[in-house]
Structures are given as C-alpha cells and as structure tokens.
Amino acid sequence: MSNASAPESAPSHELIISPFLDEYLVLRPGHDRGVQIPLSRYLQASHAASTDGPMPGWLVDATRQTWRLELDTARPLRETVLVRAPSQYGMARASWEINKGCDYDCPHCYLGAKRFEGMPWPDKTRLLDIMRDAGVLWLQITGGEPLIDREFPQAYAYAYDLGLMLTVSSNGSQLAKDKILATFAERPPHHLTLSIYGATAETYDGFTRSRGAFGRFTRGLDAAREAKLRLQLNIMVSSDNAHEVDAMVNLAERYGSFNVFTNMSPTIDGDAAPIPTQAAAYLRPRKPFTGCNAGHTFFHADPFGHASICKIGREPHIPLLREGIEGLKRLGPIADGLQLRTGGCTGCTFGQNGTCTTCRPMARLYQEAKAPLQMYCQHGNSTRKEVAP
C-alpha cells in the first residue's frame, strides 16, 4: 500500500529563479519563454527570498513583458518566487522512469519487458531531493506509462514543489481522468509529450494491443487542450500504421507541435524484437553523432534509483539511494568510458573523422541484437575496405 499523501495545498510559487549551468534563469512553469539574468540579479533575488525581502522592480518588469503576468508587489518575493540554490554537482537535466509498467503492449517498445515495479514512496522523494540538490532544473518523468503509477500525482507534485521544470512523456490514455487533470491544472507541466500510434481505432488499438485505446487517447487529447496544457506530439511510424501517416499528421496538427519518428532501436537488453516493426520506406538516415552531455550535465534514473548516463547506456550504473548524491561524481568517467570506440569500432575511420552516426552505447545494443550493419553503421552501405563493427 502506498504511503504517499496528496499535496495539502496549491504551490506557492508562480516563478522559478535558478542557476542553469553557467547561466541564471527566470522561468514560469507551463510556459515556454524564460528570462536570462546576470549573477547580480540572481544574488539579489536569493537575498530577498531568504530575508522576506520585497519583489525587485526588474523582476516585476521582466515578468510583465515576458508573460503579461502582474506580480503582487505588496507580497514578499518568497511568497511568489522560488529561488533555487546553486549546486556543486553541475547536473542540469535528468529523466526518471517512475515505473516501467504500461497499459499498452506496443511491439516497438525499447523497454522490452514492462514490469510494474519500483521504489516505495520514501525512496521516490529521496531520489527527487537528490536531483534537486544535484542542480537538475529540467526533469522528464517517463515510464512505461507514468500516469498509471498510483503515486504519480504525489511524485509529480513533490517534484514541482522542489522547483523542477517538468515534462511528462505519456501515451495519453489517462489524461481525461479528473485526478490527473487536477494535478496538471494546479501545477502546470512545461509540456506533455504524447505518442501517436494511429489515426483510427482499428490501427491504434491494434498497434497498442489494447481495446478502446484510441478512444481513451483522443479523449485525453481533448481534455488536455481544454485544460490549455502544452502538448508535443510524437508520431511513431511503423509497418503497422504507415498507411495512416498523413492522417496522423493531420491529427497532430489539431493539437500541438509534432515530430515524426521512424527508426526503431533494439530493447535496452539488446533484443532485436522492435526492429522488424520499422516501415522500410520511411526510414531516415541518421545525423552524425557529434557528442552529448550524458553523464556530465544530464543523467537518467530507473524505477529503482539507479543512475546511468542516459536511457541507452544503463551499465554501469550508480545506486543513488545507497551512495547518495556523491555517487553522481562517478558518472562523468563512466560516460567517457562508454563513448570510447572499442571492440569492432576500434580504428573506424568514420569515428575518427566525426561522421559516425551512432553513439557507442546505441551501437552496442545493435551489435548485441545482431542487427544488420546498415541499420546503425555506414560500413553496412560501404564497399571500402575499412574496419567495420
């Protein structure tokens, strides 16, 4: 049984002022725009928050100009603005699988077995505290399907009240439920990312292997739009729904901005099962991999609080609940080691000249899945005699 309790009251902050890497930002949850400020203004706001000081005029003006929001200058700053403390750990973003369980059974899913299991409530809050203290400002809550976790509303509210800017990746099946809508209305997410698997009930329900899923999804879309939540739609093109691509685009255009995804990857365990779901005619060439900040300013946490450099490079990981925040200091060297061109990729000329299209952790999954070389490596389409993975 869950020990989580519902939030007792609405959040006190309308704005967040926070360090972000080498910058200082003013942000408004649920809105896209932000304001960059100098260190001197951040320090002024921090002092006002700790001393019950008044709202500085520059913040009143910036808020009015950016969001047309009128701040109550009669109230102390701390009653409206949450000012976050600096962190020595340098993490700026993170993602968290609150649970791997899902109410869909999509064939393309990179998670493989979607077991409903995770941490007890005290560990969830401790993990979120660690993220806040590590400097994480932007947090993506994902799954599985995060909204089916019984403690999602409480965990989301807890993270919001810590001053995290939240995005939620969901299939949208639970969005029309009163408790979920109330959670988002009271504490607006930066945006919701919803996946589209078809434009008709026959295709969508068949792809998700869930009867009535399309109806739940479209009701969720309508409920989110009525609640004025910011939506980002991801159109997932597969061999089962490629005939509805145009219709899926039309559906997405009615609700928000969208992206189209076509290339499927092996599961995180190196299982090739998702790969045959690709629609060959829609596959896109990969862009050159030029490096990323995984493990240095970003990390991923699974349902057990295991921190890894990203969702793909999960091993080795840091058991954060055992090691605490200090464990994050080991992620940088782990990330550097995972990106080394080892094994069959050693000496690859594409890697040497910066035109390789796949990061090493992803390439390793394809190799474990024994996928055709051309799916992840340019050598699969090359006749030159060079070292191939």
> What per-residue string of b and e applies to 72-104 under the rule 16 or more CB within 10 Å gives b?
eeeeebbebbbbbeebebbbbbbbbbbbbbbbb
Structural domain contains residue 370: yes
- Both 215 and 116 in a single domain? yes
Cα 332 to Cα 293: distance, rounded to the nearest angstrom:
9
- SS3 letters for 5-29? CCCCCCCCCCEEEEEECCEEEEECC
- Both 136 and 270 in a single domain? yes
- Both 157 and 253 in a single domain? yes
Structure tokens at 311: 């969702």
Mean pLDDT of 223-246: 96
Enter the DSSP assignment of 221: H
CATH number of the domain enclosing 114: 3.20.20.70
- Give the count of domains, the chain: 3
| pLDDT 10s digits, 313-359 | 999 999 999 999 999 999 999 999 988 876 667 767 676 667 788 88
Side-chain-side CA neighbours of residue 147 (13 Å) = 25
* 1: confidence class by pLDDT, cuts 50, 70, 90: very low
Cα 177 to Cα 181: distance, rounded to the nearest angstrom:
6
Q: Residue 49: which domain range?
A: 15-83
* 81: confidence class by pLDDT, cuts 50, 70, 90: very high
Structure tokens at 47: 């002092």
Mean pLDDT of 42-54: 96
Predicted model pTM: 0.92
- At residue 388, the pLDDT reads 36
Structural domain contains residue 354: yes
Model confidence at 365: pLDDT above 90: no
